[in-house]
Amino acid sequence: MKRGGAAAAAILALLAASTGSGAGLPGDSLYQLHAELTTQQAATVGFDVYRGHPTLISMFYGSCPAACPMLIDAMQVYESQLDHAERARLRVLLVSFDAARDTSRALARISRLHHADTTRWTFASASESDTRRIAALLGISYRRMPDGDYDHSLLVTLLDSEGRVLGSTTKLVGDAEFAAKLRAATQIVSRAY
The reply on whether position 23 binds other proteins by CB under 8 A is no
Q: Which listed residue (87, 109, 114, 132) binds other proteins by CB under 8 A?
A: 132
Give the closest residue to 132 by CA, choosing from 171, 177, 98, 167: 98
Q: Which listed residue (145, 176, 189, 192) binds other proteins by CB under 8 A?
A: 145
The nearer residue to other proteins, 29 or 39, going by C-beta atoms, is 29
The reply on whether position 81 binds other proteins by CB under 8 A is no
DSSP code of residue 92: E
Tell me if 1 sits within 8 A of 8, measured CB to CB.
no
The reply on whether position 161 binds other proteins by CB under 8 A is no
The nearer residue to other proteins, 65 or 146, going by C-beta atoms, is 146
The reply on whether position 68 binds other proteins by CB under 8 A is no
Alpha carbons 41 and 63: distance in angstroms, whole number = 19
| Burial environment of residue 169 by CB neighbours within 10 A (0 to 12, 13 to 18, 19 or more) | buried
Q: For other proteins, which stretch binds (CB under 8 A), given 4-12, 36-44, 112-120, 183-191? A: 4-12
| Burial environment of residue 167 by CB neighbours within 10 A (0 to 12, 13 to 18, 19 or more) | middle
| Burial environment of residue 37 by CB neighbours within 10 A (0 to 12, 13 to 18, 19 or more) | buried
Strand partners, 95: 59, 124
Number of residues that bind other proteins (CB under 8 A): 37
The reply on whether position 1 binds other proteins by CB under 8 A is no
Alpha carbons 38 and 60: distance in angstroms, whole number = 15
Q: For other proteins, which stretch binds (CB under 8 A), given 27-35, 38-46, 72-80, 171-179? A: 27-35
The nearer residue to other proteins, 145 or 176, going by C-beta atoms, is 145
Judged by the rule CB under 8 A, the positions of this chain that interact with other proteins are 3, 6-7, 10, 13-14, 16-18, 20-22, 25, 27-30, 32-33, 129, 132-133, 135-137, 139-146, 151-154
